[in-house]
Amino acid sequence: MSNSIPATRIYVDMNSFFASCEQQQREELRGKPIGVVSHSGNYACVIAPSIEAKRLGVKTGMRLSDCRQLCPSLIPVVARPFIYRQYHLKIMDVLRHYCIETVPKSIDEAVMDMTSYRLVYPCLKTVAQNIKVSLSEACGSYVKCSIGIAPNTFLAKLATELQKPDGLVELTPENLDEHLARMQLTDLPGIARANEKRLMAVGIYTPLQLRHSSESLLRKVFGGIVGNYWYQRLHFMEVDGSSTQPYQSMSTARTVSGRQRESLALLESLFVSLCTRLEQRMVKQEVFCKEIRFFIRYTNIPAWETRIVLNDYTQDAVEIRQYIQHQMACFEQAHSFRLFNNRVQQMGVTVSSFLHGKRCQYNLFDNKINKDKVRAVMYALKDRYRRDIVRRASEIMNPHEMRDAIGFGSVKDLGDKDGSPINEYLLEDDELPLI
């Protein structure tokens, strides 16, 4: 491979992001092993261990009780999603100062397309070092990142995994084979156990062998064009891109606590909150859905789920709830079984088959245009003044039963300052009392 292939991607991956934000916010946590958990309780899941906790064997996804066996001094910290979103916006401001063509891949990762900046920045390693300094100034010294530089997005992301925490690695045609020789197949982003077995079945046991396999062989292993993509990724071609795609679906789900499952009113409030959260997301994205899915999972009995295809598009939480309740009532009547009971473990709602609001056609005999306008105004008021400045009547009862939650996935809901407006609703503490 010719050494004339230029590096054009900078990938920024924040280290132990949620835990680092908490340590930056709270001096008493600095330098100590902490685990950010989704909720309080011995069986809570650690969603982000700090760097100190990782060194002692704590991993993302472990139960708090298991973590304490490895690290008795672990300090659990209940997640504060609104804090992490605020740091995300600061990080994006810094990155876009260096390159306007910066796309967030998740709340703690972003890729910068430097193709148009080759004459502005002759040395991308210098740019990466300056980014680290700027992030420290904007966010604080405890919020660190690993940066990868490469000719394409995949290899730039891979470079961030090679040196953590606070790493800086550039992958080039000259050193790629050297790095791949020290890795396992499952170290490659996108290669899990199933793909590892496929590759081993044809004699590919290492990432280095994968890189030097023929494109036709990889097509056989991965079943078509995916094999072409893997060949191109490992030969410095860009196939993953950096543009954001519109939503295909939106989901929200919550695990039910012991206290909640003992109260029908609390289960209903959680159900209302799930529908309302999806309404808020659809309003911000200016889309309407035509398909609804709902599930309830139980302890020791089979789950129940339903799929509803609507005649007309909607984004209204009350309508979504009513459609689901109708299906629940039909099932309960036919089976003499109460779906909301003390065995409920988890419930979730998904909406899909979207249509953008500008293309929505209203029924001549049931014009919802005024209701849709009022809904948009309601969320505009929430954004401008505060989340609780106006609420539906259904949201008043037990309004905080559904704690805010955040994953490492898409951040399109949050918006950005160079595209859609910032969603201020998601930057507020959901534990604040009603006014």
Query: Which positions are annotated as active-site residues?
Result: 109
According to DSSP, the residues that pair with 49 across neighbouring strands are 35
Whether the Cβ atoms of residue 241 and residue 113 lie closer than 8 Å to each other? no
With the C-alpha atoms ordered 217, 221, 225, 228, is the resulting torsion angle positive or negative?
Answer: negative
Tokens representing 203 are 């004699």
Q: Which residue's entry shows tokens 């876009």?
A: 96
Rounded Cα distance between 181 and 56, Å, is 27
Tokens representing 394 are 């259904």
Residue 429, Cβ neighbours under 10 Å: how many?
11
Does residue 165 have a cis peptide bond before it, meaning omega lies within 30 degrees of 0?
A: yes
DSSP per-residue string spanning 75-115: EEEE--HHHHHHHHHHHHHHHHHH-S-EEEEETTEEEEE-G
According to DSSP, the residues that pair with 188 across neighbouring strands are none
Tokens representing 318 are 């009350």
